[in-house]
Amino acid sequence: MKKLLLPVVLILVVATGCLTQTTTNEPPTANIISIHPVNITCGQTVTFKGEGIAPDGTIDAYSWRSSRDGDLSTAATFTTSSLTPGTHTIWFKVRDSNGTWSKEVSGSVVVAAVGQTKPVINSFTATPATIDPGQSSVLSWDVTGCTTVNINQSIGNVALSGTRVVSPTKTTMYTLTAVNDIGTSTATAQVIIGEAPITKLVLPSIADEDGQVRRDGYVSNVPLVGDTKSGTAIEAFLSFDISMIPQGTVLQTASLDLPASDLFGSPFETLGRIYIYDCKYTQLESSDFAAGMAMPGSLYSSTVLITAPITSNALVSAIQARVDEGSSRFQIRVQFEKQQIYRGSGAQTYNDLADYIAFDPARTKLTIEY
């Protein structure tokens, strides 16, 4: 028996006309306009205001709920005085006319039990309130009715009461912040850095270490600077006892009084500018004479007789260096600029007069502040 083979007919259905488009609804957006007030006592009234935006329709439903009390209202705006004590997270959402709900947005309300208040800061002080540089003050505080207490200036969270030693390097305001469910309370305590007391020393020169050294090797305890009638240069030396200044001290100022007891001839016209140098010596010897004309690096110089106390940054620095190294002495050498000019054939000739300044050891003094 033969099988009957039937032809397979492929039927193509061609759809004509426009494609059908599916429209997707865009969800609405909820917005909390206000919750007021946000800190209340149990029984007080809170007003909630919200709104919604529906890109594809209209808003037809609202929903408010509390993390503590559950559903609150289905109105856009409502008031309530029945919130239970505690911190409430409030969620709000809206629904559009297509039945689509928005994402929830949130706010908060803190409800205190009757009689409950914000934290009470009983005290927050700094003792002493004013300190000298390098000293310390003690912060003391006592707080009640709070959950956390924090002090700024890198101190952080602390117990409800306590003390803390602080050593600020500049005047500092400390702020204590106490927080509970009702709100926040703050208090401040300032520590003022006062000016360090200034110690002033007035040091006379040491007569036994003062003196002069001449170019020809002559040494005496009379501090003269200039030259002799024969043109021999003279340098003056003065010494001050700084042993009472503690090592590590930072000097503030220094001034030097070099009153003259005698002025002979015309040293400034003949020998030029006078210079003062930092000089370390022990017992004066002929080798302490500094040969050559005046060199750079002086502490002070002048073209006229010095009649008032003198000071310079170089003077302060030179004394500071002696203090830092633990030296018991600060000593100086005084000389004229042209002390190398001499008499003789082919050389500049002096006026055949001694030209010098004689310092008065009884009135010579070094004043230092630190």
CA–CA gap between residue 179 and residue 151 (Å, rounded) = 12
Q: Could you give phi then psi for residue 33, rounded to 5 degrees?
A: -75, -45
Which is it for strands 77-80 and 365-369: parallel, antiparallel or unpaired?
Answer: unpaired
Where does residue 235 rank: exposed (0-12), middle (13-18), buried (19+ CB within 10 A)? buried
Among residues 193, 210, 225, the one where a domain terminates is 193
pLDDT for res 346: 44
Structural domain count, the chain = 3
In contact, 147 and 179? CB cutoff 8 Å: yes
Asked if pLDDT for residue 348 goes beyond 60, the answer is no
Give the per-residue pLDDT at 23: 63
Confidence of residue 167 (pLDDT cuts 50, 70, 90): very high
Does a structural domain hold residue 13? no
Q: Is residue 2 part of a domain?
A: no
Specify if 14 maps to a domain.
no
Task: Count CB neighbours of 35 within 10 A.
Answer: 18
Check whether 174 has a pLDDT greater than 70.
yes
CA distance 58 to 32: 17
The continuous run of DSSP H or E covering 340 comes out as none
Give helix then strand counts, H and E, for the chain. 2, 28
**Residue-number span of the structural domain to which 106 is assigned:** 29-112
Q: Assign 183 to helix, strand or coil.
A: coil
Residue 24 lies in a domain: no
Q: Are 125 and 140 in contact (CB under 8 A)?
A: yes
CATH assignment of the domain containing 343 = 2.60.120
Q: What pLDDT sits at residue 350?
A: 57
What DSSP string describes 238-254?
EEEE-TTSPTTPPP-EE
In tens, the pLDDT along 98-137 reads 999 999 999 999 887 777 788 899 999 999 999 988 899 9
How many C-beta neighbours within 10 Å does residue 204 have?
Answer: 15
Element (H, E) at 324: helix 313-324
Structure-model confidence comparison of residues 17 and 238, the more confident one = 238
Residue 275 lies in a domain: yes
pTM equals 0.52
CATH code of the domain in which 185 resides:
2.60.40.10
